[in-house]
């Protein structure tokens, strides 16, 4: 386990980079972020050029990405793809793909069962993944296999949340390389849910920080609006939600394999609703300026709304959690 001081230094380095490169999402920015900082390889085993860390360390990066509303493909590449490759047990795939991810020269994404209508026949992949995170390398769970394929076409979507690019991937009988067995794809998805929860914590914390700063600066009736009881209550409720969400997210990221499904479901449910609440309250506290294009408040609300659907809404996570106690 990485020490607290090392995690603090990691957080500071990531935040410094994201503050210095706001909005950057091109290949050059990814290469600098992933390669120079070494954060894309945090969960990559050391023998393949990574740091051999766990999701607890990755979560720190995810939180900072959520705080900055970064469009960098960290979640699909450094979390989902790395987890899928690690869990596949395919040493050849690890040796071929993981070094490129670790040094920032490769991005990747994962398509889960149920997210697309894909068929694998004679080593060729066909079908359409209508909404997916993008990446150079596409890994898809099809039947009992995890396969790697190059899509015939990529069509970017125009979405409400422009900070989370989504694409439609078409596979028109393209060659597919099998990467081991399908393995525990549910575990890979749960790791994604936990990492997304950390992102949501970062976004919610930034909403709270922005609302507190504005409540100190904005004056009405000769006093800061933060001195009014109604605003104090809103900020106190936001603080409780953010800190509770942080606990849920980091517990999920540190959970042992047999407990991950439960903690991921808790984090997926609570952190999603905490982010939505914090983003909404931030707009309310900012008042008129909070609904203008010139302010970032609406961007966090849009990110919170899109995050709420990425791995399923809170209700789906609670339904899954309920199955574990019945």
Across residues 246-264, what is the average pLDDT? 96
Sorted by sequence, the CB contacts under 8 Å of residue 214 that are 6+ apart come out as 285, 286
307 within 8 A of 196, measured Cβ to Cβ: yes
> Where is average pLDDT lowest: 110-119, 182-191, 222-231, 244-253?
182-191
For a pLDDT cut of 90, what percent of the chain falls above it? 83
- Parallel, antiparallel, or unpaired: how do β-strands 219-220 and 166-181 relate? unpaired
Residue 28, pLDDT score: 82
Residue 182, pLDDT score: 63
Extract the tokens encoding 292.
């203008």
56 within 8 A of 254, measured Cβ to Cβ: yes
Q: How far is 18 from 13, CA to CA, in rounded Å? A: 9
Residue 188 phi/psi, 5-degree rounding, is: -60, -40
- Parallel, antiparallel, or unpaired: how do β-strands 153-156 and 166-181 relate? antiparallel
Residue 123, pLDDT score: 93
Q: How far is 131 from 93, CA to CA, in rounded Å? A: 25
Q: What is the pTM of this model?
A: 0.95
216, pLDDT greater than 80: yes
Measure Cα distances from 84 to 145, 181, 192 in Å: 11, 11, 10
Extract the tokens encoding 321.
């959690």
Q: Is the dihedral of CA 305, 309, 310, 313 positive or negative?
A: positive
pLDDT band at residue 137 under the 50/70/90 scheme:
very high
More confident call, 2 vs 118? 118
Terminal C-alpha separation, the chain: 34
Q: How far is 86 from 99, CA to CA, in rounded Å? A: 12
For a pLDDT cut of 70, what percent of the chain falls above it? 98
177, pLDDT greater than 60: yes
Residue 326, pLDDT score: 65
Q: How far is 86 from 179, CA to CA, in rounded Å? A: 11
1, pLDDT greater than 60: no
Radius of gyration of the chain (CA): 20
């Amino acid at each position: 386990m990485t020490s607290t001081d090392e995690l603090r230094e990691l957080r500071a380095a990531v935040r410094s980079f994201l503050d210095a490169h706001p909005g950057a999402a091109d290949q050059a920015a990814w290469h600098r972020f992933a390669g120079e900082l070494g954060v894309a390889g945090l969960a990559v085993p050391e023998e393949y050029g990574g740091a051999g860390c766990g999701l607890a360390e990755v979560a720190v990066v995810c939180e900072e990405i959520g705080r900055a509303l970064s469009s960098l493909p960290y979640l699909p590449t450094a979390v989902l793809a790395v987890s899928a490759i690690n869990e596949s047990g395919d040493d050849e795939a690890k040796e071929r793909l993981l070094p490129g991810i670790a040094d920032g020269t490769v991005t990747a994404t994962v398509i889960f069962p149920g997210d697309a209508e894909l068929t694998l026949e004679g080593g060729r992949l066909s079908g359409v993944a209508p909404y997916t995170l993008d990446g150079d390398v596409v890994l898809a769970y099809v039947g009992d296999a995890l396969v790697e394929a190059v899509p015939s076409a990529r069509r970017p979507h125009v979405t409400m949340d422009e900070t989370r690019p989504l694409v439609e991937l078409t596979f028109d009988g393209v060659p597919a390389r099998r990467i081991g067995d399908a393995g525990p794809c549910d575990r890979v998805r749960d790791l994604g849910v936990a990492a997304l929860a950390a992102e949501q914590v970062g976004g919610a914390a930034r909403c709270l920080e922005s609302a507190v700063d504005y409540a100190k600066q904005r004056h009405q009736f000769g006093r800061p609006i933060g001195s009014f009881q109604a605003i104090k209550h809103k900020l106190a409720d936001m603080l409780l939600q953010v800190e509770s969400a942080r606990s849920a997210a980091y517990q999920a990221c540190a959970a042992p394999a047999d407990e991950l499904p439960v903690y991921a479901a808790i984090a997926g449910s609570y952190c999603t609703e905490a982010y939505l609440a914090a983003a909404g309250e931030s707009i309310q506290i900012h008042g008129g300026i909070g609904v203008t294009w010139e302010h970032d408040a609406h961007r966090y609300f849009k990110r919170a709304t899109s995050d709420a659907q990425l791995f399923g809404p809170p209700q789906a996570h609670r339904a899954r959690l309920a199955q574990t106690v019945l």
